[in-house]
Amino acid sequence: MVRVSPKKGSALHDFPYTSPQRKCPHFWIINVTPPGPAHCIHNCVYCYAREAIYSDFSPDMVVYSNLAQLVEKDLRRIRLAPPISISNISDPCQDIPEVREVVTELVSLILSYGIPFCVTTKGDPRFLLELPRFIEYEFKFVAITIEGTPDMLPLLSPGAPPFHQRLEAVRRLSAAGVKTVVRLDPLFIHLFYAVYGERWLAELEKLAGAFSLAGAEHIIVSTGRLSKRRLPGGRRSSWERMVSTVRAVSPLAARRMEAEYVFENRWGGKGLFLRNDLRRELHARLKEIAEGYDMTYAVCQELGKEADSPGIAHCERFRLPFAARQPDGSFRPLPGCTAVCHVSCRDKQGLPCGQPLLVSPGPYKIGHLSRLAGCRL
């Protein structure tokens, strides 16, 4: 059952990272549903949102009905708007009418105000192509998650669209001129090994070639962060679910996974990660493969910028700047801004936004967005 319900409070929210190693831009994160197992139909085996400490374990899917209204209210009280990221804890392009209605209204509002934004999904975002100004609006990109091959996706994300549908969405958006990213994320090499044996890396290379042929310009990869914390009601942890999935295909691959994932308490969160030396070797090889197909490559959180293709400001590649409010109430993207404030503007004189308080890896506060001193338009 789907329950449409208003969200309370402000919509303004940034990632909680405070470390100088932060790689993410200062996004305004807007989630279409709360986290929790009932709020996304894709049923991904590795989903971290099911076991977040703030998860909602209600039996019904809850879809926030008033996101556009909350965003517009926030826009009236700030003078500097962060780029918007939709959605980080559940899929904004689920094949649920209520979800698509809310996302359509939200994206239409963002376009009308001129705020840079991105959409991350493993659903089918092609309905957004019907929105006025969506295709031609410059400051946006769409990231489509394809975390495995056609053989693997039914095991990893059984409720999400199949491989061919996701790849066709990449092809259709790219052909329309929309900047398109593929998130090969999370990449579980032990499942690749379970399915393909010793030729698993060759299958990964074929996958990268398919992404490039479909028009993707950039690939983002991580090897996953898993938790042993069980959910309410004794439901299995993400670690148990993932190892069980691998074991059902190959007990040998599951044993290797159990030996090669280790606990780390990192700046981006704590959990079980692929052992550091293995992931460094893997990312170096995948970067070489991606660049061989004329795509750029980046690693999500688990390594520093040294693992990314040169010349990109952040792991999502495409520039989504902060935007400054104009006299008519609309916003205009700031020239020279990357929204990775603590990196791009750390030693800079004459900041694009004129707001030195943003030059920090820590999350922004409403006060940082309320003042505009000497911004360059």
Return the domain boundaries, the chain: 2-318+326-370
Residues 191 and 249 sit within 8 Å (Cβ to Cβ): yes
**What's the distance, Cα to Cα, between the start and end of the chain in Å?**
47
DSSP string for 2-59: EEEEPPPS---------STT--S---EEE-SS-SSGGG-TT--TT-SGGG-TT----S
What pLDDT was estimated at residue 306?
A: 86
Q: Which residue has the tokens 């090889």?
A: 285
* Of 320, 338, 316, the residue nearest 145 (C-alpha): 316
| pTM of this prediction exceeds 0.75 | yes
CA pair distance 105, 109, nearest whole angstrom: 6
pLDDT of residue 53: 66
* pLDDT tens, the chain, 377 aa long: 899 999 999 999 999 999 998 989 999 999 999 988 889 999 999 998 776 767 788 889 999 999 999 999 999 999 999 999 999 889 999 999 999 999 999 999 999 999 999 999 999 999 999 999 999 999 999 999 999 999 999 999 999 999 999 999 999 999 999 999 999 999 999 999 999 999 999 999 999 999 999 999 999 999 999 999 887 777 899 999 999 999 999 999 999 999 999 999 988 888 999 999 999 999 999 999 999 999 999 999 898 888 999 999 888 999 999 999 999 999 999 999 999 999 999 888 888 888 899 999 999 998 889 865 445 44
Instruction: Give 317-320 contacts, CB < 8 A, sequence gap 24+.
Output: 317/141, 317/181, 317/217, 317/218, 318/118, 318/141, 318/179, 318/181, 318/218, 319/139, 320/25, 320/27, 320/83, 320/116, 320/117, 320/118, 320/139, 320/140, 320/141
> Residue 377: its pLDDT value, please?
47
Residue 8 has what pLDDT?
92
Given this model, what pLDDT does residue 333 score? 97
Per the omega criterion (within 30 degrees of 0), is the bond before 83 cis?
no
CATH number attached to the domain at 2-318+326-370: 3.80.30.30
In the block, residue with structure tokens 């990221």:
85
Structure-token pair, residue 28: 């305004």
